[in-house]
Structure 1
Amino acid sequence: MPSVLIIEDDDAQRFVASFALKKAGHQVNEAHDGPHGVAAAKADKPDVIVCDVMMPGMTGYEVVAALRNDTELANVPVILLTAMSDRKHMRQGMTAGADDYLTKPYRPDELCEAINAVLARRQVQKEAFMSSVSGVVEDALEQQKEDLGVQYENRLVKEINARWSRANAAGDVSYKDAFVMLVDMLGPQPTQGSAPSLADLVKQVHQSARDTLYLFGANHVMPYGTNLMAVFAADEATLTTPVETRVLRAASALLKSVPKERVATLALHRGPVTLVAVDDGLHGDQGHSLVPGDSIAAVASVHSTAAAEGWRLSATPAVAKMLATQAAAGRKAMTARGEEAVELLPGKV
Structure 2
Amino acid sequence: MPLIVLMEDDAATRTLVSSVLRKDGYEVLSADNGLTGLELVRQHKPDLVISDVQMPTMDGFAMLQALRGDPSIMATPVVLLTSLQERAHMRIGMTSGADDYITKPFRPGELREAASAQLNKRNMQAALQTMAVEAAVQAALEDQKHHLARLYEKKLASELSEKWPAADGASEDERFSNATVLFVDVLNYASLAEKLSSAELSDVVRQFYNNAGDTVHLFGARHMQFVGEGLLVVFVDSTDTSSVNHGLRAARAALGLLDSAKRVQKFLNHHFPAHGLPRFDVSVALNSGPVALAKLEDPLRGGMQVLPVGDTVSATLLLQKQAHRANWQIAASVAMLRGVTGAVNIGGRALVSLPGRTAALDAAELLGLALQS
Report the TM-score when normalising by structure 1.
0.49
Task: Mark the structure with the bigger radius of gyration.
Answer: 2
Report the TM-score when normalising by structure 2.
0.46
Kindly indicate whether structure 1 or structure 2 has the higher relative contact order, using CA contacts under 8 Å at least 6 residues apart. Answer: 2
